[in-house]
Structure 1
Amino acid sequence: MTRSDRVVILGGTFTPVHNGHRALLHHAFQTASHDGDGDGHVVVGLTSPDLATETRGDPSHAELLGSFSARRDALGAELDRIRDAYSATCEIIRLEDTGGPASRREDIDALVTSPEAKAQRRAYEINQHRVDKGLQPLEIHTPPFIVDEEGNRISSTRIRNGEIDVHGRLLD
């Protein structure tokens, strides 16, 4: 990776990987794979078990996410399917804190985040932290929610609850 590469970051628990996650990942690759010098690079932060517990409204929900290694394997398999369509390279890193490398790495150019209010607040806080540390604020990219057959947002919680599958198809 060279400094001419455009570096884009996103993060989450990614379990199970669903069409909403796929939209975020595709958006990150599209943002990184810009015209100009360099091929771009996508950094995908995968939430550690401790951070997952800390950031859940109900910490016991973190137990439903599965092991870090299983989530990493599933995310890696998804990235293998996606990345061939783009010029950007990618990597998965372990997220240990809510700001992650987005709040401190100089080489990151953009953050892809979901439209959820909590994610938007976190993006604002990351940029505020960057400015306070003398770093350039990140471009914030927010693709729209992906919805199910009835127009409701696809979410991992709804999938785990058996309401929909990973593609947003309603389950009986």
Structure 2
Amino acid sequence: MRKKYRKVVVGGTFDRLHLGHKALLRKAFEVGKIVYIGLTSDEMVRNKPYAERILPYEHRLKDLLKFIEVNGYTNYRIIKIHTAIGFADSMKSLEAIVVSEETYKGALIVNRAREEKGLKPLDIVTIPIIKSYLGDKISSSLIRAGLIDPFGRPLHWKGNSPKDV
């Protein structure tokens, strides 16, 4: 299958890699020939909800690499980022950014920053928010709070596990 874009970017903390993260990453690899993944530094996540429970950068990197390997993805580069925009406002060759409905506004901020630097805005590829079994969105914050697991199940769930990868 021919990829729609040569170079795409996706970014995040990717803490407690969950179904929403996996859907976002799968979409990036689906549409991009080369995927640049911005992974937030430990310093950048200090103000997130339940920040003290966020896994260290190296652990999140290891989990991300495992997901990439298990899925057979090959053309990627993971870059540590220290700001919300990361490198997306300075890498001229990027063509698209992959976001969720929730983070769409962040893509608009990236594009504004690119335009201010004289770069072409990125096409925005948006995926829907992945819902938990309770109907809320799956989020790392809810996982860190101990309310759901990475599959979106309440922690007292007794059902079978959905496929992990």
TM-score, shorter chain, exceeding 0.5 = yes
Aligned match for 1:113, one of 78, 99, 107: 99
Alignment RMSD (CA, Å): 1.6
Q: Which runs of 5+ in 1 are unaligned?
A: 33-39
Greater Cα offset, 69-78 or 148-157:
148-157
Q: Which runs of 5+ in 2 are unaligned?
A: 157-165
Aligned match for 2:42, one of 39, 45, 49: 49
Inter-partner Cα distance in structure 2 for 1:170 and 1:53:
26
SS at 2:127's partner residue? coil
Supply the AA of the counterpart residue of 1:26: R
Aligned match for 1:139, one of 123, 136, 160: 123
Show structure 1 runs of 4+ deviating over 4 A. Answer: none
Who is 1:103 aligned against? Answer: 89
Inter-partner Cα distance in structure 2 for 1:73 and 1:45:
14
Inter-partner Cα distance in structure 1 for 2:52 and 2:134:
29
Who is 2:161 aligned against? Answer: none
Inter-partner Cα distance in structure 1 for 2:138 and 2:84:
23
Task: List aligned pairs for 1:114-129, cutoff 5 A.
Answer: 114-116=100-102, 119-129=103-113
Q: CA deviation at 1:157?
A: 1.3
* Offset from partner CA, 1:112-143 (integer Å, 9 cap, x none): 11212xx2222111101111211110011110
Aligned match for 1:171, one of 135, 155, 159: 155
Contact in 2 for aligned 1:49/1:62 (Cα 8 Å): no
* Offset from partner CA, 1:70-95 (integer Å, 9 cap, x none): 1111111111122x2x6x61121101
Percent sequence identity is: 37
Matched residue count: 152
Contact in 1 for aligned 2:101/2:126 (Cα 8 Å): yes
Instruction: Return the structure number with greater strand share.
Output: 2
Supply the AA of the counterpart residue of 2:79: I
- TM-score, normalising length from structure 2? 0.85
